[in-house]
């Protein structure tokens, strides 16, 4: 396999895909377009204060303060939801105007995979905090009214988990999968068939079960482990969980913590690693891995960490929500040399 890329959206990110339709952001502007084509049109501008807008144009400051747009989803109703620092905004006029409908009780934003819209219209998010203290309960909340309101559906008591990494619907089986982290028994992969009210534990208790996202296939589920700077010399690996036997198998060691996992419309599985400065990292590069069958893996590309310290930004490769609907691969690069904040469009050739 060979990855062929081109610059798609300098200074921006593709946030959401549905086939040829894409929603992207640059600063606080919301854009629409087709990632396989050139050209974007502005839908509207998300509300933010003057200082927030000014600082968002300064790369290191924007990354340090976590400014800009963190997540965008178009719901089945056509409503667009956007996550900014500390709040959820909602638009019912195609992204032209937005209103704030919800503010996060703890943390500034959910994890990249922790704010999720379902094909049936429900929206879920899990609390995400970066502090080391485990003094607050961690909740999962759901909206049943098109993003107007969110209510608590599950509570992890203080000390049970540090935060929620992902919430994903399984297209090949019942229910929702949820991942949590970060240490010991906090690392869990759970499954719920009642809307995240109760859970079955599929695995817990080690870094094998620490994942930021999973990839669903009819025969198995795949993820890369997110053993970061707090995991010592624990190696990171790509795992395959067999649906029939429910056995976990390591299929590939990778160079650092996995910050993303997705697949293309043709079934190609992708896993990206990040750079956090941990002793278990092989180098200071973010790597992109791919597999057609989930067993044979190939590294496609890598990018070196930039000069800014980790407190400003880890080196990461993020995939947009809905990447599985398109073969036009979108890579959102942050904290990487020569990339700044940029989105690359890629096609994987045989």
DSSP state of 321: B
The reported pLDDT for the residue numbered 10 is 87
Euclidean distance between CA atoms 286 and 180, whole angstroms: 23
Question: What are the φ and ψ backbone dihedral angles of 135, each rounded to 5 degrees?
Answer: -95, -15
Output the pTM of the full model.
0.95
Q: How far separated are the first and last CA of the chain, in Å rounded?
A: 5
pLDDT, tens digit (0-9, with 9 covering 90-100), for 174-213: 899 999 999 999 999 999 999 999 999 999 999 999 999 9
Q: Do residues 47 and 86 make contact, with C-beta atoms less than 8 angstroms apart?
A: no
Query: Has residue 340 got a pLDDT over 70?
Result: no
pLDDT, tens digit (0-9, with 9 covering 90-100), for 63-112: 777 788 999 999 999 999 999 989 999 999 999 999 999 999 999 999 99
139 strand-pairing partners: 155
pLDDT, tens digit (0-9, with 9 covering 90-100), for 234-287: 999 999 999 999 999 999 999 999 999 999 999 999 999 999 999 999 999 999
Among 42, 38, 32, 44, residue whose Cα is nearest residue 89 = 44
Distances (CA, A) of 260 to 64, 143, 193: 21, 25, 24
Query: Has residue 6 got a pLDDT over 80?
Result: yes
- Domains defined for the chain, CATH in brackets: 41-301 (2.130.10.10)
Euclidean distance between CA atoms 178 and 199, whole angstroms: 9
- 154's CB contacts (< 8 A; 6+ apart) are 139, 140, 192, 196, 197, 198, 199
């Amino acid at each position: 396999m060979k990855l062929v890329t081109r610059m798609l959206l300098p200074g921006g990110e593709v946030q959401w895909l549905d086939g040829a339709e894409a929603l992207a952001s640059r600063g606080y502007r919301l854009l629409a377009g087709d990632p396989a084509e050139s050209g974007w049109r502005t839908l509207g501008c998300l509300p933010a204060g003057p200082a927030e807008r000014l600082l968002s144009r300064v790369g290191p400051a924007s990354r340090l303060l976590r400014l800009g747009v963190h997540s965008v989803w178009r719901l089945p109703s056509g409503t667009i939801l956007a996550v900014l620092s500390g709040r959820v905004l909602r638009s019912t006029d195609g992204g032209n105007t937005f209103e704030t409908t919800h503010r996060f009780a703890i943390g500034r934003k959910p994890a990249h995979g922790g704010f999720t819209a379902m094909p049936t219209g429900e929206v879920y998010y899990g609390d995400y905090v970066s502090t080391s203290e485990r003094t607050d309960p961690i909740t999962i909340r759901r909206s049943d009214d098109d993003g107007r309101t969110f209510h608590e559906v599950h509570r992890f008591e203080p000390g049970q988990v540090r935060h929620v990494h992902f919430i994903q619907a399984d297209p090949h089986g019942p229910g929702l999968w949820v991942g949590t982290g970060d240490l010991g028994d906090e690392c869990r992969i759970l499954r719920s068939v009642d809307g995240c009210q109760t859970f079955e534990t599929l695995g817990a208790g080690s870094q094998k079960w620490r994942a930021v996202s999973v990839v669903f296939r009819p025969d198995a589920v795949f993820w890369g482990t997110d053993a970061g700077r707090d995991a010592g010399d624990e190696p990171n690996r790509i795992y395959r969980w067999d649906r029939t036997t429910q056995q976990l198998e390591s299929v590939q060691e990778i160079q650092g913590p996995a910050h993303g996992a997705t697949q293309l419309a043709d079934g190609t599985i992708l896993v990206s690693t990040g750079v956090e400065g941990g002793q278990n990292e092989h180098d200071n590069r973010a790597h992109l891995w791919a597999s057609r069958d989930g067993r044979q893996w190939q590294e496609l590309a890598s990018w070196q960490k930039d000069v800014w310290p980790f407190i400003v930004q880890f080196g990461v490769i993020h995939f947009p929500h809905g990447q599985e609907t398109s073969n036009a691969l979108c890579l959102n690069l942050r904290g990487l040399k020569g990339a700044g904040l940029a989105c690359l469009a890629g096609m994987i050739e045989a």
